[in-house]
Structure 1
Amino acid sequence: MTFSSLGLIEPLLKTLDTIGYQTPTPVQVQTIPAILARRDLMAAAQTGSGKTAGFALPLLQRLAMEGPQVASNSVRALVLVPTRELAEQVHQSFREYGTHLPLRTDVVYGGVSINPQMMKMRRGLDILVATPGRLLDLLDHNALRLSAVSILVLDEADRLLDMGFADEIGRILAQLPKDRQNLFFSATFPPAVQALAEKMLRNPARIEVQPAPTVEATIRQRAIEVDASRRTQLLCHLIHESCWDRVLVFVATKHSAEQLADKLGKAGIKAAAFHGELSQGARSHVLAEFKACRLQVVVATDVAARGIDIEQLPAVVNYDLPRSAVDYIHRIGRTGRAGESGTAVSFISAASEPHFRLIEKRQRLRLSREQISGFEPIATTAPVTALMTASLAGPSTGGIKGKRKSKKDKLREAVARKND
Structure 2
Amino acid sequence: MAYNRFLALERRLAKSLQTKNQYVQFMEEYENLGHMTRVDIDSISKPRYFIPHHCIVRPESRTTKLRVVFDASAKSSTGMSLNDLMYTGPTVQSELFTILLRFRLPRFVFTTDVEKMYRQMLIQPDERKFQLIIWREDSSLPIKHYQLNTITHGTRSAPYLAPKCLQKIAKENALQYPLGAQFLQDNFYVDDGIGGSDSLTTTMEIQQQLIHTLKQRGLNLRKWCANHSQLLQNVSMEEQEVDIDFDNDINQSIKTLGLTWMPKMDRFCVKVRLGSCSLATKRSVSADLARLFDPLGILAPIVVMAKMFIQDLWQLKLTWDEALPADLNERWTTFRNDLQKLDNMQVSRHVFEGYIPAKIQIHVFSDASEKAYGAAIYIRSELDEGRVQVRLLCAKSRVAPLKLQTIPRLELCTSVLGTQLTTRVKSDLKLDDVATYFWTDSQIVLA
TM-score, normalised to structure 2, is 0.27
Larger helix share, 1 or 2: 1
The higher-RCO structure (CA 8 Å, 6+ apart) is: 1
